[in-house]
Amino acid sequence: LFAVKSAGASDAATLRRERAVLAGLSSPHVVRCVGGGEGAEEGSYQLFLEYAPGGSLADEVARNGGSLEERAIRAYAADVLRALAYLHGDRSVVHGDVKARNVLIGGDGRAKLADFGCARAFGSASARPIGGTPAFMAPEVARGEDQGPAADVWALGCTVIEMATGRAPWSDT
């Protein structure tokens, strides 16, 4: 059993790049890529990922009435921190879009970082524009400066706020 992430021809390169990033990763705190390939439509692409039966952390917050208890927040935040420690320390990779929607809950109830579409090696000069979700962006990223490991830690802090309140930081809804 696995999940399929699909993209049409216009976004297929992003999924191919995401597969390349995931192929170099092996951590119990990161969603595993089990393959990928060309889709049925010309130029489309499909990425095959480990199935996470708990859905996203955002789904878990919604199932719990819009906020999680402190104990759950602590446990999920610790899992994401382990994923970031692995990415930043062992792989020199910045995730670039940490938020509750991009954290999945595995069959064991543990959080796993997913959606590596904005990931990049830190310190790399890339022609790609900086990605991510504006409400979770560190100030330096919003200013167009380098997106390093500190930006992922900032986004995790924003995710903790999201887990506690059910809303993205600085949102009006």
Contact 133, 154 (CB under 8 A): no
CB atoms within 10 A of CB 165: 14
Contact 147, 97 (CB under 8 A): no
Most distant CA atoms of the chain, gap in Å: 48
pLDDT at 169 over 90: no
Task: Give just the sign of the alpha carbon dihedral 113, 119, 120, 123.
Answer: negative
pLDDT at 138 over 70: yes
Q: What is the mean pLDDT of residues 127-156?
A: 80
pLDDT at 136 over 80: yes
Q: Report the distance separating Cα 48 and Cα 87, nearest Å.
A: 21
Residue 134 confidence class, pLDDT cut points 50, 70, 90: confident
pLDDT at 172 over 80: no
Q: From the candidates 79, 90, 97, 152, give the one annotated as an active-site residue.
A: 97
Q: What pTM value is reported for the model? A: 0.90
Q: What is the mean pLDDT of residues 57-85?
A: 97
The question of whether 97 is a catalytic residue gets the answer yes
Sequence-ordered alpha helix ranges (H) in 44-69: 57-63
Q: What is the mean pLDDT of residues 159-165?
A: 96
